[in-house]
Amino acid sequence: MNKNELVHLHTLLVRVAEEYAEWGVATSDDFSTYRALRTTPMALRRSRADHEAATLVLARTLAELSGTPRLEVQSVEDTATR
């Protein structure tokens, strides 16, 4: 997955997080780990690795809020080589 695709996925996950907050499924505190990374989809000058880390943290948080058991997620690069 190239950086542009990763940023697009990051953007989509942020939109899901916003919906969760609107629906009352999540609170601002639920996303504190994600916010601590200080990488938003609009931070286009941040590295691909920064966006990957932020996307994975956000995806794990959303999965936990969805009631999905926590999965060990490999890095995007690891899964792309398969």
Alpha helix locations (H) across the chain? 3-23, 32-36, 48-65, 76-80
Q: What is the pTM of this model?
A: 0.79
Q: What is the pLDDT of residues 40-62, one digit of tens each?
A: 999 999 999 999 999 999 999 99
What is the per-residue pLDDT for 77? 54
Q: Domain residue spans in the chain? A: 3-77
What is the per-residue pLDDT for 5? 96
C-alpha span between 59 and 61 (Å, rounded): 5
Fold of 3-77: Substrate Binding Domain Of Dnak; Chain:A; Domain 2 (1.20.1270)
C-alpha span between 3 and 53 (Å, rounded): 12
**Max CA separation in the chain (angstroms):** 38
How many Cα atoms are found within 13 Å in the side-chain-facing hemisphere of 65? 22
Residues in the chain with pLDDT < 70? 68-82
Q: Give which of 65, 76, 63, 72 is closest to 1, Cα–Cα.
A: 76
